[in-house]
């Protein structure tokens, strides 16, 4: 991992993803505030994390496709201990497994509400956090209209 960094307000200090050839389009999408997943051409299956083959039909024909960004919280944990020094001032923070309406689940942060208010099954929408050096991470916040 690259060195931790912070945003302009100095609030977030994260380890940056180190994209691979397979994952670069995903992170490029985040930088444009677009959540992109691979989708196979024969059947329209989505998958995550990025891979060179559809997990379900093994097709290698796919397109990077924007998804709607709506999700439901599958499960979560609230960090009360800093496993990395640069995260100490972020505590407590929430790591969740979010299930996108298109199906795949991904690891993200749950933001925009207190950890005590986070509930499995809550409706979420994607937001993007631009970090200093042009890296953007996704996060999910409660979706007001669907709560």
Q: Which residues bind another protein (CB under 8 A)?
A: 1, 14-20, 23, 49, 55, 74-81, 83-84, 87, 90, 93, 95, 97, 105-109, 115, 119-121, 137
What six digits make up the tokens of 105? 């689940």
Rank residues 9 and 80 by Cβ distance to another protein and give the closer one.
80
Query: Rg of the chain over CA atoms, in angstroms?
Result: 16
- Which residue, 42 or 74, has its beta carbon nearer to another protein? 74
Peptide bond into 49 cis (omega under 30): yes
Integer Cα distance of 63 and 25 in angstroms? 11
- Is 28 exposed, middle or buried (CB count within 10 Å of its CB: 0-12, 13-18, 19+)? middle
Task: Give the nearer residue to another protein in terms of CB position, either 1 or 147.
Answer: 1
Residue number with CB closer to another protein (48 or 62): 48
Residue 31, Cα to own-chain centre: how many angstroms? 12
């Amino acid at each position: 991992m690259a060195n931790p960094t912070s945003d302009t307000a100095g609030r977030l200090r994260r380890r940056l993803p180190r994209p691979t050839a397979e994952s670069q389009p995903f992170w490029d999408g985040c930088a444009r505030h677009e959540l992109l997943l691979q989708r196979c051409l024969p059947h329209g299956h989505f998958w995550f994390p990025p891979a060179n083959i559809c997990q379900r039909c093994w097709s290698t024909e796919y397109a990077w496709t924007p998804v709607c960004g709506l999700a439901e919280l599958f499960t979560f944990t609230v960090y009360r201990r800093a496993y990395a020094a640069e995260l100490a001032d972020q505590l407590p923070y929430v790591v969740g497994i979010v299930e996108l309406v298109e199906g795949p689940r991904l690891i993200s942060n749950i933001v925009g509400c207190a950890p005590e208010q986070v509930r499995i099954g809550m409706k979420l929408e994607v937001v993007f956090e631009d970090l200093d050096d042009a890296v953007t991470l996704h996060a999910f916040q409660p979706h007001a209209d669907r709560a």
